[in-house]
Copies of this chain bind each other. A is one copy, B any other.
Amino acid sequence: MPGYVTHLEGAIDGARLPAGTLRTLHEGRPILVRYDLERVARLVDRDALVHRAPTMWRYRELLPVEDDANIVSLGEGMTPMLDAPRLGAALGLDRLIVKDEGQLPTGSFKSRGQSACISMAKELGCTAVVVPTAGNAGGAMAAYAARAGMEAHVFMPRDTPEVNRREAVLCGATVHLVDGLIDDCGRLAREHADANGWFDVSTLKEPYRLEGKKTMGFEIAEQLGWRLPDVIVYPTGGGTGLVGMWKAFHELEALGWLEDTKRPRLVAVQSDGCAPMVRAFEAGERFATRFEGAATVASGLRVPAAVGDFLILDAVRESEGTAVAVDEGRILDWMRQVASLEGITLGPEPAACVGAAEELARAGWIRPDESVVLLGCGTALKYPHLMPDVEG
């Protein structure tokens, strides 16, 4: 089936760029994929999507791959939207929903982005890929690269959780341990990519992980009957999912698929141990300063600088949302709270969102009757060192 991509677009200046070639940044900033949405609207019947398999590839015409044969999939997508009445009651929210992305392949939402970008890497003729990671992206990339039969290299901080390291090795990737943080890994990945001809799939440094991540926005809409919630609470490291969902909502509106075009307010959540986006939001800035001394048990939030900072901050502001830094010292308590009240075993990144939701409900920023989706980006199972053990 032919693709619906019309062109690529520089996010910083709106420059129109040709699709169909391997690309990284434009003017040092991310590139967005644009589609012929009028054509998609004419040819795709929203209500016939129900007949498609429950994966993110049900939104086939809104994803960049041209040839179906290039789709690299492990069955990712259509994760459940779980009502959380007990947790909601504890937080003062009557309509709280957890989207449980821990049920994706490799246990986190990183699989969406990797499915899209490894598919495109395959379509564009890549045979080797490289990624820097703060945690889960490395394992996901290794899995999808294995699925595609590609050579894979992962650069990760030496103190990345053990499971992230081992799952990448299990999938046959070469893992390079780095004394530093993800941005240090990013520099090394870039150098090796240039030297060896590997494709660098750093988030937002190529156009396609964003496209995979945006499917969370499509799913939230479809699963809520093509209406959007009042608030989405999102754990923000590189921020690709937040930016992706915002892009998805624009596309859905352009397609005329939404029953009600009222957009959710986006909440970008970070730990006070690493909160560059929250600082920039509060300072009224469009670009963030690197957060020095970043330290948080939520390894996916340990991202001191993000190349898509302005996209995150633009989306949060356009949505009339906010950015919240939660108490690092309480993340393990929130993990335990959601697991013991709802049986949903969230990792530390989405656990931080529990704290943010509590704070915003208490402050009246979220009203008790508003619908709130907490983006449960990954499972606790990959963080055994953060889970309580048997006493005695």
* Residues on A facing B (Cβ under 8 Å): 50-51, 54-55, 73-75, 78-82, 86, 100, 102-107, 142-149, 162-163, 165-167, 169-172, 175, 177, 335-336, 339-345, 379-382, 384, 387-390
Check if B339 sits within 8 Å of A389, measured CB to CB.
Answer: no
Q: For A79, list chain B residues within 8 Å (CB).
A: 75
Report 23 cross-chain contacts, Cβ distance below 8 Å, ordered by A residue: A54-B54, A74-B344, A75-B81, A75-B82, A75-B100, A105-B343, A105-B344, A106-B345, A106-B381, A143-B344, A146-B341, A146-B343, A147-B343, A162-B384, A165-B389, A166-B388, A166-B389, A169-B387, A170-B339, A170-B340, A171-B343, A175-B390, A381-B381
Main secondary structure of the interface of A (DSSP, over half): helix
Check if B165 sits within 8 Å of A390, measured CB to CB.
Answer: yes
Kindly state the separation between the CA atoms of A78 and B384 in the bound complex, as whole angstroms.
27
Kindly state the separation between the CA atoms of A145 and B79 in the bound complex, as whole angstroms.
21
Q: For A341, list chain B residues within 8 Å (CB).
A: 146
Check if A381 sits within 8 Å of B345, measured CB to CB.
Answer: no
Check if A388 sits within 8 Å of B78, measured CB to CB.
Answer: no
Check if A107 sits within 8 Å of B167, measured CB to CB.
Answer: no
Check if B380 sits within 8 Å of A381, measured CB to CB.
Answer: no
Q: For A170, list chain B residues within 8 Å (CB).
A: 335-336, 339-340, 345, 380, 387-388
Check if A384 sits within 8 Å of B163, measured CB to CB.
Answer: yes
Kindly state the separation between the CA atoms of A343 and B150 in the bound complex, as whole angstroms.
11
Check if B166 sits within 8 Å of A387, measured CB to CB.
Answer: yes
Kindly state the separation between the CA atoms of A335 and B166 in the bound complex, as whole angstroms.
12
Check if B74 sits within 8 Å of A54, measured CB to CB.
Answer: no
Asked if A163 meets B390 with Cβ closer than 8 Å, knowing A50-B50, A75-B100, the reply is no
Among residues of B, the one whose C-beta sits closest to the C-beta of A140 is B343
Kindly state the separation between the CA atoms of A341 and B343 in the bound complex, as whole angstroms.
33
Q: For A165, list chain B residues within 8 Å (CB).
A: 389-390
Q: Pick from B143, B148, B177: contact of A339, CB below 8 A.
A: B143
Among residues of B, the one whose C-beta sits closest to the C-beta of A341 is B146
Which of A78, A162, A166 has the largest count of B CB atoms less than 10 A from its CB? A166
Q: Whole-angstrom distance from the CB of A333 to the nearest CB of chain B? A: 11
Which of A103, A335, A380, A389 has the largest count of B CB atoms less than 10 A from its CB? A103
Q: For A167, list chain B residues within 8 Å (CB).
A: 345, 380-381, 387
Asked if A343 meets B80 with Cβ closer than 8 Å, knowing A100-B75, A387-B167, A390-B177, the reply is no
Q: A103-B105, A147-B342 are in contact. List 16 more A-B contacts (CB 8 A).
A: A54-B54, A75-B103, A86-B149, A103-B103, A143-B339, A147-B343, A162-B389, A163-B381, A163-B387, A166-B384, A169-B388, A170-B339, A170-B387, A171-B340, A171-B345, A172-B339
